[in-house]
Chains A and B, each alone.
Chain A
């Protein structure tokens, strides 16, 4: 397995270089260093001298990919691409274009994002699986039909509606939790409770239906019939056998997102005033802050690769037949 993991890590390097190159190309197709300078300096009274000074100070006065004026390796290294990309491979993200330390910003903001995303993920998983098992247990009954109808209904409603509706009913009408805000520690429970509940409800429909399908597929297999024939109770069949054997497709979708949890959620964090990472990338794109954009895309790619590797490892844990070679 170690050799497999090393190989996967080795494969990750060209993927990350490719992602970085693509991000760079896409960003600079749309924005020029002059545009970036203007965005940072504002629209009033910006002179060409000020733009030149900004570019020079932030390292955007160099050629993009190849420096024809330089010699030797300088042709590649004395460029914006190299200067802005190389350090990221040792996780040194440098400074944003408005002068803030990106690593520190990520460290500060990942906590609040996790405070929402992790409970939503855990509680959500439990709720979705339980609800799906319940529908499976009572399959082809009125409860199952009502459950599926409820899922379809919940899937049909926009996530934004849950947020605005939840804030209106729970916070504004019932005054049960603050409409928005955040606090660390136990005092923060009242701020994160509603976003977590809404986050869970928002995905109940799609996730529970997906898990129900998986469970229904499993429940028709021979080993389930054998288990029943041996006189096991339906609950025992479901939890001991069906759930265990349905783990592979569940893990495929679940484990890969675990490392990405701290990247946050744009809408939830914006509406609930959570100071997380959800809007960091979008804000950076709007502000044409390449330093932040490339750092966040790089980090996202890295975490996704980590998620995929973890998924592979998790397969070996739930299914002894899977071997990583």
Chain B
């Protein structure tokens, strides 16, 4: 036993030669343009038809090339071509398919036809599906399980190839959106718009039922709303006018998919080895997935056939000064490889970032004070400790909103009585809860509105953001976050129910104002004037445990300000979702992350037709207001214009008056990056940012070396102590034996 230990110690001690012992990456990678970053949760899906989460798009957006993308530098967010050679040409037809002018009113438009021309000569990543044998035929299209005996990952196939991307590949992917064996999250929306998609799904379903084990060749079934025009052009027909469709074209749902890839992965033995399209993408974007071990590391390597894009030559004001245009015109991507390591815990992630082993990092609450300081003027910057390391900070308000909803069907905090009568009867909860009470409760719309307004004033979200989010967020004035059309800055944009404009800034109204509203609502001092019962409001939440206790206590205190009792009903995720679906809540926390930067994507969350109860929509508050719904219908298909802004202003005023949500806050994203990482600009809509980034590897290697020299003295000290202890013990033992 002693010998190996001594040997190990000798090896360790002799290794004090200046090499970085704590470097988690191979020494051979030094000096290479590799980006090192981390992921905290393994992606569930990497199939562009199924993926819809942020952590999935982090990979997919680098791998797949849909027709459009967001301009990396310009603000407000602007769509530009990615795989398309130009922006799609949109033609309108009436219900009889007769052409209409571009300025035709939305109600007359029966169909919108998007004609998309893709860039020629775009090629797919290297992949065995494209490998050809000596006869020019696919090499791996008739594999048997025996052939796959030594294949465990795509890299184990000896050969790979590529081919040119065609318009037919884009059409094939749109057909996949209706594939009965895939779960397309946006099928509900797309089937409403893409002509024939719903029937197409039904046809495929029937075909699959006839022969469940056979490969379903989508090329054998035409989809009427999508046609290939020529090798590089295709058309998509959508019902009516739907300007937001262009935003969907910037998502991986509409990226090209080579039909042979599905057939390749459908071969026997593939799925058993986890070789599926859901796990091993086949893309034409700047990177391809060269290593896929989501329990440890995922590696994106440069697609050697990607040469269709250059760094943008222009941005917004200040970008040139910030050095963001230094690489203008250079071919993308600027980095050869991106190594994503799984870091489930924030502490190791943060410490490795400080050691220089990650190039960029978010900031957890634990490390916030170490990383960021806020000046007296409210300006946020990195601390001196970070500055010494050359770390800089990028911030951006997320296109998200975190809100607290009131259930519109609730008799106390809910909406107008007319709506109650027409609303579907809520289902009683299993615990015999509130469902049945609602029908018999007396309902006064003015009363409940004033109650909601009073609560909206009392719950101080500025304080919440300051305490619980380290100031990383801004209190919301409406559902629309900054950066989205319809958001107004300054006095014009404030919620006058909750704020006053004082000295050039919004100031939350006083608690006295909230109490006054409460009296008008019939709850003086938080007591129901009619029943003499204290007013109790229930909050349903999945937040439990010590971490959330402080937040819930804080919320209780906010309600205490106006003498209203808040009861927190903590529940598990399943029950919470169940309550929301049944409308069996009074108040609840929710959040929404934008699919695309359009006000429609936020305002639809309060559209009556989207109610959760009865309609299974996204309107969790079940809010319903006829005037709002009419304005929404008018606004949703409009192009951004002053007329659209006017309608949005009216809609927001209705919402602020009705207060179906406590508007909560819009979170702010904080990202730290080392000084050797260039071209980093916050862009909350674009997920395909990595291709723009550049690493100064010389500087990184030099600083890493400075920061991580191993300290050998603890090993020497340990070895000496061990030796001395051994000698002492031996002597003590000898003495005892001698004495005996």
- Expressed in whole angstroms, the minimum distance between the Cβ of A209 and any Cβ of chain B is 20
B158 at the interface (CB under 8 A from A): no
B711 at the interface (CB under 8 A from A): yes
| Contact residue among B21, B189, B271, B272 (Cβ-Cβ distance under 8 Å from A175) | B21
| Contact residue among B22, B342, B572, B616 (Cβ-Cβ distance under 8 Å from A48) | B616
**A53 and B180 contact, Cβ closer than 8 Å, known pairs A104-B274, A167-B347, A270-B344:** yes
How many angstroms between the C-alpha atoms of A190 and B19 in the bound complex? 13
Which residue of chain A lies nearest to B713 when distances are taken between CB atoms in the complex? A174
A-B contact pairs, 17 of them (CB 8 A): A40-B183, A42-B53, A44-B52, A50-B187, A99-B271, A105-B274, A109-B295, A167-B351, A168-B351, A174-B710, A178-B24, A179-B351, A179-B355, A180-B343, A273-B343, A275-B293, A279-B344
A180 — which chain B residues lie within 8 A by C-beta? 24, 341, 343, 345, 348, 352
A41-72 contacts to B (CB < 8 Å):
41-50, 53-54, 57
| Contact residue among A30, A42, A176 (Cβ-Cβ distance under 8 Å from B711) | A176
Q: Quick check: B24 and A191 within 8 Å, CB to CB?
A: yes
B188 at the interface (CB under 8 A from A): yes
| Contact residue among B45, B271, B733 (Cβ-Cβ distance under 8 Å from A98) | B45
Which residue of chain B lies nearest to A233 when distances are taken between CB atoms in the complex? B737
Q: Quick check: B348 and A167 within 8 Å, CB to CB?
A: yes
Q: Quick check: B577 and A272 within 8 Å, CB to CB?
A: no
B180 — which chain A residues lie within 8 A by C-beta? 53
**A53 and B183 contact, Cβ closer than 8 Å, known pairs A45-B189, A101-B274, A137-B733:** yes
Interface size class of chain B, counting residues whose CB lies under 8 Å from the partner chain: 35 or more
Known: A181-B24, A273-B348. 5 other contacts (CB 8 A): A42-B185, A172-B351, A179-B24, A180-B348, A270-B345
B736 at the interface (CB under 8 A from A): yes
How many angstroms between the C-alpha atoms of A124 and B49 in the bound complex? 49
B276 at the interface (CB under 8 A from A): yes
Q: Quick check: B296 and A182 within 8 Å, CB to CB?
A: yes
B341 — which chain A residues lie within 8 A by C-beta? 180-181, 273
- Expressed in whole angstroms, the minimum distance between the Cβ of B731 and any Cβ of chain A is 13
B345 — which chain A residues lie within 8 A by C-beta? 180, 270-271
Stretch at the interface among A31-39, A219-227, A246-254, A303-311: A31-39
Q: Quick check: B22 and A176 within 8 Å, CB to CB?
A: yes
Q: Quick check: A54 and B183 within 8 Å, CB to CB?
A: yes
How many angstroms between the C-alpha atoms of A44 and B709 in the bound complex? 48
B20 at the interface (CB under 8 A from A): yes
B578 — which chain A residues lie within 8 A by C-beta? 35
- Expressed in whole angstroms, the minimum distance between the Cβ of A118 and any Cβ of chain B is 15
- Expressed in whole angstroms, the minimum distance between the Cβ of B595 and any Cβ of chain A is 8
B186 at the interface (CB under 8 A from A): yes
B148 at the interface (CB under 8 A from A): no
A260 — which chain B residues lie within 8 A by C-beta? none
Interface size class of chain A, counting residues whose CB lies under 8 Å from the partner chain: 35 or more
Q: Quick check: B296 and A272 within 8 Å, CB to CB?
A: no
B320 — which chain A residues lie within 8 A by C-beta? none
A108 at the interface (CB under 8 A from B): yes
Q: Quick check: B296 and A275 within 8 Å, CB to CB?
A: yes
| Contact residue among A30, A46, A99, A279 (Cβ-Cβ distance under 8 Å from B572) | A30
Q: Quick check: B22 and A171 within 8 Å, CB to CB?
A: yes
Point out residues on B near A: beta carbons under 8 Å.
1, 20-24, 26, 44-45, 52-53, 180-181, 183, 185-189, 271-274, 276, 278-279, 293, 295-296, 341-345, 347-348, 351-352, 354-355, 357, 572-574, 577-578, 616, 618, 708-711, 714-715, 729, 732-733, 736-737, 740
| Contact residue among A41, A175, A233 (Cβ-Cβ distance under 8 Å from B709) | A175
**A190 and B347 contact, Cβ closer than 8 Å, known pairs A42-B52, A44-B185, A176-B714:** no
A107-125 contacts to B (CB < 8 Å):
108-109, 112
A179 — which chain B residues lie within 8 A by C-beta? 22, 24, 348, 351-352, 355, 357
A126 at the interface (CB under 8 A from B): yes
Which residue of chain B lies nearest to A170 when distances are taken between CB atoms in the complex? B714
How many angstroms between the C-alpha atoms of A42 and B187 in the bound complex? 13
| Contact residue among A175, A273, A275 (Cβ-Cβ distance under 8 Å from B710) | A175
Q: Quick check: B574 and A138 within 8 Å, CB to CB?
A: no
Q: Quick check: A174 and B714 within 8 Å, CB to CB?
A: yes
A153 — which chain B residues lie within 8 A by C-beta? none
A176 — which chain B residues lie within 8 A by C-beta? 21-22, 710-711, 714-715
Which residue of chain A lies nearest to B352 when distances are taken between CB atoms in the complex? A179
| Contact residue among B183, B344, B574, B709 (Cβ-Cβ distance under 8 Å from A50) | B183
- Expressed in whole angstroms, the minimum distance between the Cβ of B10 and any Cβ of chain A is 14
| Contact residue among B23, B188, B342, B347 (Cβ-Cβ distance under 8 Å from A47) | B188
Q: Quick check: B348 and A40 within 8 Å, CB to CB?
A: no
Q: Quick check: B342 and A275 within 8 Å, CB to CB?
A: yes
- Expressed in whole angstroms, the minimum distance between the Cβ of A191 and any Cβ of chain B is 7
Q: Quick check: B21 and A41 within 8 Å, CB to CB?
A: no
How many angstroms between the C-alpha atoms of A219 and B53 in the bound complex? 63
B272 — which chain A residues lie within 8 A by C-beta? 101, 104
A164 at the interface (CB under 8 A from B): yes
3 pairs of A and B residues whose beta carbons are closest in the complex: A275-B295, A275-B296, A181-B24
A235 at the interface (CB under 8 A from B): yes
Q: Quick check: A272 and B21 within 8 Å, CB to CB?
A: no
A258 at the interface (CB under 8 A from B): no
Which residue of chain A lies nearest to B715 when distances are taken between CB atoms in the complex? A176
- Expressed in whole angstroms, the minimum distance between the Cβ of A194 and any Cβ of chain B is 10
Q: Quick check: B188 and A45 within 8 Å, CB to CB?
A: yes
- Expressed in whole angstroms, the minimum distance between the Cβ of A48 and any Cβ of chain B is 6
**A172 and B355 contact, Cβ closer than 8 Å, known pairs A40-B44, A47-B187:** yes
How many angstroms between the C-alpha atoms of A235 and B574 in the bound complex? 62
Q: Quick check: B53 and A47 within 8 Å, CB to CB?
A: no
Q: Quick check: A104 and B24 within 8 Å, CB to CB?
A: no
Q: Quick check: A271 and B274 within 8 Å, CB to CB?
A: no
How many angstroms between the C-alpha atoms of A138 and B1 in the bound complex? 22
**A104 and B574 contact, Cβ closer than 8 Å, known pairs A98-B44, A175-B20, A175-B710:** no
B185 — which chain A residues lie within 8 A by C-beta? 41-42, 44-46, 50
Q: Quick check: A190 and B21 within 8 Å, CB to CB?
A: yes
A21 at the interface (CB under 8 A from B): no
A244 at the interface (CB under 8 A from B): no
* Most chain A CB within a 10 A radius of its CB, from B45, B185, B732: B185
Which residue of chain B lies nearest to A37 when distances are taken between CB atoms in the complex? B183
- Expressed in whole angstroms, the minimum distance between the Cβ of A29 and any Cβ of chain B is 11
How many angstroms between the C-alpha atoms of A2 and B587 in the bound complex? 65
B278 — which chain A residues lie within 8 A by C-beta? 99
